[in-house]
Structure 1
Amino acid sequence: MTTLTFDTLKFANTLKEAGVPSAQAEAEARALADVLEVNLKDLATKQDLLATEEKLRWGIEDLRREMDSRLIQLEQRLIIKLGALMTIAVSIVAALVKLL
């Protein structure tokens, strides 16, 4: 993970040049550095995003393969059921033909 550097001295000097009292400028620089340290340490980097994207790609590919497999199984079950229904229908028609 990359780190962000914050130049507190430069920030404090910029505030001092703008007319902020020295003690206040230094206190603001320290406070801002603390805030940045706390809030930016969990910030996602490009590498984090790329790793997550790769995991998602693999997950989607696995899901696609699983769905393909399920669809093939469903198709096979439907074919078997249709065949059974056709056999029953032909048997009923043959029985009716014999009776009439």
Structure 2
Amino acid sequence: MSQMAFDTLQASEALETAGMSREQARAISLIVRRSHEVADVATKADIAEVKRDIADVRKDMDTRFEKVDAQFADIRKDMDNKLEKLGLSLTIKMGGMIGFLVVSIGLMLKYLR
């Protein structure tokens, strides 16, 4: 974050003009300067920069989520295709087993008579 500018000479001159002694004016201006140096204050420019950074992050996230959504759609299609093939395969196998069972029962009934 950027620091606020504070001119100690200008401040001490202003305080001297107001009737303070030179030493008092310097002491007060130094105290104010030190308080400004340690102050961690965000400026409007700092806030605008953070907002731009957040907007950039949101754009990146949207792009990544679009890619992830596309990948999920591909996975769903693959799973649907595999499940459809599995269902068809099971239908054929079950049909074969039922056919075998019907023929077997028919042969058993023929030989049991």
TM-score by length of 2: 0.59
Bigger mean CA offset, 23-32 vs 53-62: 23-32
Give the whole-Å Cα distance in 1 for the aligned partners of 2:74 and 2:35: 56
In structure 1, the gaps of 5 or more residues are none
Secondary structure of the corresponding residue to residue 4 of structure 2: coil
Q: What CA distance in whole angstroms lies between the structure 1 residues aligned with 2:28 and 2:81?
A: 76
**Counterpart residue type for residue 81 of structure 2:** I
Is the Cα–Cα contact under 8 Å of residues 2 and 42 in structure 2 kept in the other structure?
no
* Aligned equivalents of 1:22, 1:89: Cα separation in 2: 99
Counterpart for residue 71 of structure 1? 72
List aligned pairs for 1:1-100, cutoff 5 A: 4-8=4-8, 9=11, 13=15, 23=23, 25-34=25-34, 36-37=36-37, 40=40, 45-100=46-101
User: Is the radius of gyration larger for structure 1 or structure 2?
Assistant: 2
The structure-2 alpha-carbon separation of the partners of 1:28 and 1:99, relative to structure 1 and needing over 3 Å to count, comes to: farther
| Partner SS, residue 5 of structure 1 | coil
Give, in angstroms, the shift of residue 2 of structure 1.
6.4
Q: CA RMSD in A?
A: 3.5
- Secondary structure of the residue that 1:45 maps to in structure 2? helix
Q: Deviations over 1:15-59 (max 9, x none)?
A: x87x8x753552353254245346559877123123202211211
Question: Percent identity between the aligned chains?
Answer: 18
| Number of residues of Structure 1 aligned to a counterpart in Structure 2 | 95
C-alpha contact (below 8 Å) 2:6/2:33 kept by paired residues: yes
Cα distance in 2 for partners of 1:91, 1:51 equals: 60
